[in-house]
Structure 1
């Protein structure tokens, strides 16, 4: 079981690690605390109010206490202006922690590569027995997301680092393809276990640790896929695993900072594992993360019925950038592809003059104003020009 509270030695480790990533080795107290909170996993007890602190959560107050202890130990400078700054001794400790952490993670990566090679030596990874998978150490117990606690649990990762995702296709509307898996977070009656599994997956994501997905085969056999957790969506509670035998490059920059091209052409191999390799799961994951999992133009919200639709279609070389997509139910996706309705550059919806009305199509939205974000303006301009040209013919 994970500790009820994050222990003080781990709090110290987190303070050192975060301050060491800043060129100045210094952060305002509020910024330091916020950064530490965002970068690490916290227990339910960490979020409880600290006694006699006017509702301040325990994690925040205990960080302050640990920072004061570190000042007494000469690891951070004493300051009256609410700034946390590493001393030279604190910097040296932070570097040693990083070296130790890197060594531990590298050993775990090597252990997983040995697992993978052992499986291949036994005739895998396709259509192998459940007994072989368990004997080699890929999986144990009943968890949907398995972390070998003995091998992967550390102070930095109290719930371990996910080793295996078990995909049966029975309990959740997951999407499996040859390129990867969209896997819904576990939702069972096992109190605490579900969240521990999610945090073990998050540890694999944050450390870029390879992991394995086990899928069923006829005859009670199994196939094992090697890959990485490419992204996690805590709103829709879905993670994206991309299958690869190589290394996964770092995540791309935030999309608002990226250039946008309407079409995907065979070009340079930048982000070859992420951007240029076709992966419908990746496109769907990013569309749902950007807009939500409900149909953009009606009330359908079932994940089994909502699809990630390209606004500029793939047959017209439309990009797999999520800004060229919308979540649409199967009916409205088909109606859009048949030009029965469209979207103008101001996000308003229009129906085909000689066809059914928006009401007839059961479209109960008149614009995309309700969405948290919108398609790229270049996409909307393009599909509107296509629409108006067809209307004048």
Structure 2
């Protein structure tokens, strides 16, 4: 580590090191980490990021670290080994290491991707055939191995669970001490995502797509359509009597598979594949409701963004963001394994959207998840962990 930031009195301080294997401009985990790092820096905290690739940001040191990219099964493990080796060589050593990837040498693990063991369990519940294939997968075996090493690491002082669901999954699958699991949900700028986006974008976006102002529109935002539940969403949309449109914002390598499914279900032009968007706000402003019926979703920042914009949002029981949705209407949380459950929840959300009071009530539910609240709670956790670490180091020095 080549540089350390200085305190106002000129003394050096060790930076907090954030670790993430790679960067994607559309990745929810990457966007959240980038936001946290910048917010820490804005509060005059020393920050560094270790990754294979990361966009330059003023005042944040970038430390390049890469593992083997191929084969896929060894990718995460290779990066973890390379990162731990690189961290051990840093001089001065970082004050704390927070990893957003499974990493056996971190002080704090932010479980932004949830618990892989829980994800596999849900996949098996939904499909026995799918579950059999997962059991044979070398990739999933390696991910579980790395996850076990991370949670069993003697140096792991705290885990950030971004939802109550994830906290429960960690305790259930790894018997990790409850007092070291800290529930800190994702947060967003409530000023950036707001109900005024409807007046700003609705008419223009709908005119561009030749969609009437009164046509019901369901919005899906996410990449990796299978895990995010697009297939059951298409199936459910096809059964709704209100004949809504479904707008799909995001990317998937199997895009044509989902196009064919939409055509097979008779949806025709009622499903519009928008593609990935750097700014999703116009689409929130133009839609009536949002849906994220994921197979497994640790939180789903999309849920928070949509609800901050006043959109009733439908999620699966395996979406961590359900804790937010339930603040508005628990009936919008559904079990996607039940044939009619998703369609019923979508119909209820569309009914909500026709009420003039809904946007305010949905926004009110989301107001507890502001960015400042998340950052304040994260900083408080870091201060406590750092103080604990310093006490242990001082006690060890006295024993020498």
Q: TM-score range by the shorter chain?
A: under 0.3
Taking CA–CA contacts closer than 8 Å with sequence separation of 6 or more, which of the two structures ends up with the larger relative contact order?
2
TM-score (norm 1): 0.27
Which structure has greater helix proportion? 2
Structure showing greater Rg: 1
